[in-house]
Structure 1
């Protein structure tokens, strides 16, 4: 895996936007998913795996009970597994999904939002989701190609795979794919959010991408640079107030903004 240590604000932007030129359409359109972490030592672990114990056996029970108790007409735009899994992840249920964003600046936010972690280096993971999907079995890859899409929607994925068990059996090797959730609320929209998903619930994405170093890079933000990045993001209005619309996001932004250095 390509690991890059950043030396300045300008270098951070240049690195994250590198390789975004698409000659075939004459536009700058990055094909990377970004995930910001406050500590560079954090792995790409899901909330499900962080439960510990026999968490893979609990996944079905967690989702079954979420579906049973979450029946509210204002939330139910679809009834596929992938819709429910996306909604469960969004509302905090431990799942095998992992949060990503299309925006390098939003990834910068999550790498620098926790001021209690300013004594350690942060990191932004960047994974080329187009190249990830090129490694999928034809059954999945063809669905993307027929749609002319680079990332699955819940509807597209449901047309070829309808259960987690079916996804697990579709290949003998562990697979990764990226999934766009429905725009359930402004938080998903403002964070430009989407998810990664492993076919095996026990597979850790940061370990999986080690097999394919050409599709991934880990951008290290030294602790000495975090305050500058944070202050400039605040000036650019990349804050909790925008990314978490509502009084809770406003309170989180004000608490951090007025905390002493």
Structure 2
């Protein structure tokens, strides 16, 4: 295990890191967008859930994690973590890592020059979130397939039979 692996694990278990989760799977991204907002949309009457699409180029992945420490990254890059937990594989997970300068300036990814034109924001109205969740489950995308452990199974069963 190295610093990249520890950051990856921390991110997947909810620890604040300099990593931002992405997925190569559009349905997984939609599940996360609606999962994070599922309760918020209904409770706070939010207008929509959001999926950000990153149209990455080869240069965006030009980070050799074997040679660069995570806290020495000079600019935002994307990297594929090692599959150290099954959930990373199930989620088709990739990360963007942000430099200390970008973090200290609190710049959102769509405010970073090299990424601003590569991002597409897709909004899903609150009134369709419940239907999206049901459709995703029909397609095999749910808490248990995203988090293939006991916690994911329990979350799925709670959603499926009690919500």
SS at match of 1:129: coil
Residues 236, 207 of structure 1: alpha-carbon distance in 2 compared, 3 angstrom cutoff: closer
Stretches of 4+ aligned residues off by more than 6 angstroms:
none
Q: Give unmatched runs, 5+ long, in structure 1.
A: 1-75, 134-149, 169-174
- Cα distance between partner residues in 2 of 1:163 and 1:247: 31
Given the alignment, which residue of 54, 62, 69 partners 1:162? 69
1:111 maps to what in 2? 33
The CA RMSD over aligned residues, in Å, is: 2.3
Between Structure 1 and Structure 2, which shows a larger proportion of helix residues? 2
Q: Does the CA-based 8 Å contact 1:101-1:193 persist in structure 2?
A: yes
SS in 2 for 1:221: strand
- What is the rounded CA distance, in whole Å, between the counterparts of 1:205 and 1:131 in structure 2? 21
Asked if structure 1 preserves the Cα contact closer than 8 Å seen for 2:20 and 2:97, the reply is yes
Quote how far apart the aligned CAs of 1:102 are. Answer: 0.5
Q: Partners in 1 of 2:138 and 2:146 — Cα distance? A: 14
2: CA distance between counterparts of 1:163 and 1:193? Answer: 17
Asked if the contact 2:109–2:115 (Cα under 8 Å) also holds between the matched residues in 1, the reply is: no
Instruction: Write out per-residue CA displacement over residues 15-49 of structure 1, whole angstroms, 9 at most, x where no aligned residue.
Output: xxxxxxxxxxxxxxxxxxxxxxxxxxxxxxxxxxx
Find the aligned partners of 1:88 and 1:228 in 2 and give their Cα distance. Answer: 31
Unmatched tracts of structure 2, length 5 or more? none
Which of 98, 120, 140 is matched with 1:217 structurally? 120
Distance 1:246 1:212 in 2: 34
Helix, strand or coil at the partner of 1:182? coil
Contact 2:146 2:152 in 1 (8 A): yes
Is the counterpart of residue 237 in structure 1 residue 140 in structure 2? yes
Tell me the distance in 2 between the aligned counterparts of 1:128 and 1:112.
21
Matched residue, 2:92: 192
Q: Considering only CA atoms, is the larger Rg found in Structure 1 or Structure 2?
A: 1
Q: Spell out the pairing of 1:91-170 with structure 2 (5 A cutoff).
A: 91-114=13-36, 115-119=38-42, 120=46, 121-130=48-57, 133=60, 150=61, 152=63, 156-159=64-67, 161-162=68-69, 164=71, 166-168=72-74
1:30 aligned partner: none
Q: Across the two proteins, how many residue pairs are aligned to each other?
A: 155
Contact 1:122 1:223 in 2 (8 A): yes
CA contact (8 A) 2:110 2:116 kept: no
Deviation at 1:210, TM superposition (A): 7.0
Asked whether the 8 Å contact 2:110–2:119 carries over to 1, the reply is: no
TM normalised by structure 2 equals: 0.81
CA apart distance, 1:237: 1.0
